Structure 1
Amino acid sequence: MKKYNVVFCGTPEIGATILKQLMAMETLNVCLVVSQPDRPVGRKKEILPTPVKQVALEHNLKIIQPNKIGDDYQIIKQANPDFIITCAYGQFIPEKILQIPTLEALNVHGSLLPKYRGGAPIQYAIWKGETITGISLMRMVKKMDAGPYFAQKQVEITPDDDSGTLFQKMAIAGAELVKEALVPIALKQLPPIEQNEAEVTFCKNITSAEEKIAWEQSATEILNQIRALSPTPNAYTELDGVRFKIHQARLLTEQDLFPLNRKVHFPGEILYLDQEGIIVQTGDQLLKLLIIQKAGKTPINAGNYAINNTDISIGGFFNERFQKK
């Protein structure tokens, strides 16, 4: 049985799942793993190995962590790969690296291309209110996410999904796609499909400024933002200059509105507090904040926090710039 040499490039958990699948395939030999340099993680800023590096170490795979992957061109070339496969690696792959493998340089991309080319496709699918997304196994080319794809697999987005749960679903789908498609690609049994340029959409990396909630948006838009940015880095709002991250929220039903007085309110206004959470006016409907995190503290049930702390009260405003002048 012919074995194909693979150089795998990845960094977070979704990459670790793909790496495990590659190692489990009898037709493949993972000869080199490339991951981002280890960086501080969490509130304690502890230096930890990336999830992909951790898997590589556990299975005694050779691993490199270049600041720029192009600097390790010779190491990758000497691995003599048939495939280079990337998944959420986090660096642009220069063309000289893409030309190394004897068969293909492939990327496991977190969208149904040509939709959501770019660095945050999984988050954007939630943020834009999609109910279906998916994984594409595509050929890497010089232009970002512009190469043809060989296969795709759909993934459902449920109302309860946030980026954390969707990443898990996408990782499973990506592993299945690699298992099903890689050997047929090697045997030229799976022809590439060119992307329709007329249908291309983009999703740039999310900036810190985009994490702040603008309460004049609709309740649905804000909820999607909260879901897209959970469990990290989280959407946030401010009260009297203090930042509160919002981990979880829900839209209110008509039944939830009792005993609220439905007079005219303004975006960001705190209307009601109960043991479940904090009800806030948006640009149209009401939103209930369920889990919040005050700066420097741990996440907590929003209702418990509001009832036991005086800094959040009915009539107050998140992001004061939205209150009535």
Structure 2
Amino acid sequence: MDKIKVIFCGTPQIGADILTALTEMSNVEIVLVISQSDRPVGRKKELKTTPVKEVAIQNNLNIIQPIKISEAYEQIAQIKCDFIVTCAYGQFVPTKILELPKIDSINIHGSLLPKYRGGAPIQYAIKNGDSKTGISIMKMVKKMDAGDYYIQESIAIEDHDDTGSMFEKLAILGKKMIKENLIKIYNNELVPIAQDEDKVTFSKNITTEEERINWNDSAINIWNHVRSLSPWPIAHTFKGEERYKIQKVKVLDSSDLTKAPGTIIDINQNGIIVQTKDKQIEILLIQKPGKKMIEASSYKLHSLSDLKVGDYFE
């Protein structure tokens, strides 16, 4: 048989992993890669190549980075393909582009649809304390993540997982699934399954305000909140006007309900102990503005020692 011709759209590392999987398939030809524009990062605002672009360059693939994908319609339409495959591209793809492939336009989505349609499904699964999540390979339609899905596979969310580790696990799962199922979709061996609209939930992109820790919440919810934002964009809290980033915490069995939520109970060799609505939280990794992320157990040894027992995070 002729090679399956694929146009791939993606931007971050999980997209790069899926693109890598496609390049490893002997029966697939990547005829075009589309990624978001390179963007400045860090204090020096240096332009950083997207992970998908890096994989494209390494494999000598044709790549374009339109500001809006709709602006590249004519260029894309000239390239004959069997599939458009997307994974974490970061833009809505217009219907007129979705209709270009001979077979279908499909998306590798990081949730068990119809749960967590939208741009932050992995973060929401952890934040909400879910015991599992997964990958859905779905048909792309105009409505966000609403297309029928060809196949789903689930994976456990362990207590030690955060968003970073789950991205890695789901990338491995996604690579396996696209390798096993693209040819089945091509051969019309998988029957698409309609999503149950009564069970739809959404995972909108997380705002800066939503990254803030609510100390009036339960310790378990705060723990889930922190790990859902680790290693990016990282949860934060305020003491006065100073914003502290908190990347890792631990739930303790201890509690002192005479202290207001957010009160620093102790600073010791293990970390910084803070009271919540119920139990206490032990902060393990913390960062003050302008400083590096450090282990809270060594807090007193650093110039960050402005926190005192009895202070409280707002």
* CA shift in 2, pair 1:249/1:12, >3 Å: same
* 3-state secondary structure, aligned to 1:249: strand
Q: Which residue of 2 aligns with 1:299?
A: 293
In the aligned structure 2, how far is the partner of 1:263 from the partner of 1:186? 60
Structure 2 residue 194 is matched with structure 1 residue 194: yes
Amino acid at match of 2:268: D
Q: Deviations over 1:79-138 (max 9, x none)?
A: 211100000000011111111101010000000001000110011000000110000000
The partner residue of 2:311 within 303, 307, 316 is 316
Post-superposition shift, 1:310?
A: 3.7
Structure 2 residue 267 is matched with structure 1 residue 273: yes
* 3-state secondary structure, aligned to 1:153: strand
* 3-state secondary structure, aligned to 1:216: coil
Amino acid at match of 1:311: D
**Residues 257 and 278, structure 2, Cα contact 8 Å, conserved in 1:** no
Structure 2 residue 116 is matched with structure 1 residue 116: yes
* 3-state secondary structure, aligned to 1:316: coil
Identical-residue share of aligned pairs (%): 52
**Residues 275 and 307, structure 1, Cα contact 8 Å, conserved in 2:** no
Amino acid at match of 1:183: I
Q: CA RMSD in A?
A: 1.2
Between 43-52 and 22-31, report the one with greater CA deviation: 43-52
Structure 2 residue 61 is matched with structure 1 residue 61: yes
Amino acid at match of 1:6: V
**Residues 41 and 47, structure 2, Cα contact 8 Å, conserved in 1:** yes
In the aligned structure 2, how far is the partner of 1:296 from the partner of 1:79? 48
Q: Could you list the runs of 4 or more consecutive aligned residues of structure 1 that deviate by over 6 angstroms after TM superposition?
A: none
**Residues 268 and 317, structure 1, Cα contact 8 Å, conserved in 2:** yes
| Aligned length in residues | 313
* 3-state secondary structure, aligned to 1:90: coil
The partner residue of 2:281 within 271, 283, 287 is 287
* 3-state secondary structure, aligned to 2:23: helix
**Residues 306 and 313, structure 1, Cα contact 8 Å, conserved in 2:** no
TM-score by structure 1 length? 0.94
Post-superposition shift, 1:75?
A: 1.4
* 3-state secondary structure, aligned to 2:126: helix
Post-superposition shift, 1:281?
A: 0.6
Post-superposition shift, 1:216?
A: 0.2
Q: Which residue of 2 aligns with 1:322?
A: none
Q: Which runs of 5+ in 2 are unaligned?
A: none
**Residues 84 and 105, structure 1, Cα contact 8 Å, conserved in 2:** yes
**Residues 33 and 63, structure 2, Cα contact 8 Å, conserved in 1:** yes
**Residues 14 and 168, structure 1, Cα contact 8 Å, conserved in 2:** yes
Q: Which residue of 1 aligns with 2:161?
A: 161
* 1:136-151 alignment runs, 5 A limit: 136-151=136-151
Q: Which runs of 5+ in 1 are unaligned?
A: 320-325
In the aligned structure 1, how far is the partner of 2:191 from the partner of 2:71? 32
Q: Which residue of 2 aligns with 1:99?
A: 99
In the aligned structure 1, how far is the partner of 2:101 from the partner of 2:165? 33
**Residues 36 and 65, structure 1, Cα contact 8 Å, conserved in 2:** yes
Q: Deviations over 1:13-45 (max 9, x none)?
A: 000000000011111100100000000123432
Structure 2 residue 238 is matched with structure 1 residue 238: yes
In the aligned structure 1, how far is the partner of 2:26 from the partner of 2:219? 49
TM-score by structure 2 length? 0.97
